[in-house]
Amino acid sequence: MTELVEPTAAQLWCDRCGEDAAAVGGHEPCAVARTLEPPRYCPQCRRRMKVQVLPVGWSAVCVEHGEIRG
């Protein structure tokens, strides 16, 4: 299971909805949904990532920043 993660300096964009990670009102619904889903957007550049869900986890690839696994 993925942990709830607060946005960091390196995470400029929400990895679920692609909006500004520091937006007023926060991203609590996105953080809750991310406990069950892989990321959809790169948190560094906001590009839509190629996501593959496998029986043992997932991988998400940004063409600029590489792969994230979970």
Q: How confident is the model at residue 21 (pLDDT cuts 50, 70, 90)?
A: confident
Which pTM value belongs to this model? 0.76
Please count the structural domains in the chain: 1
- First-residue to last-residue Cα distance in the chain: 8
Give 25-61 pLDDT, tens digit per residue.
778 888 888 888 999 999 999 999 999 999 999 999 9
**Domain extent at residue 58:** 1-70
In the three-class reduction of DSSP (H, G, I as helix; E, B as strand; rest coil), residue 69 is classed as strand
At 3 the pLDDT is 39
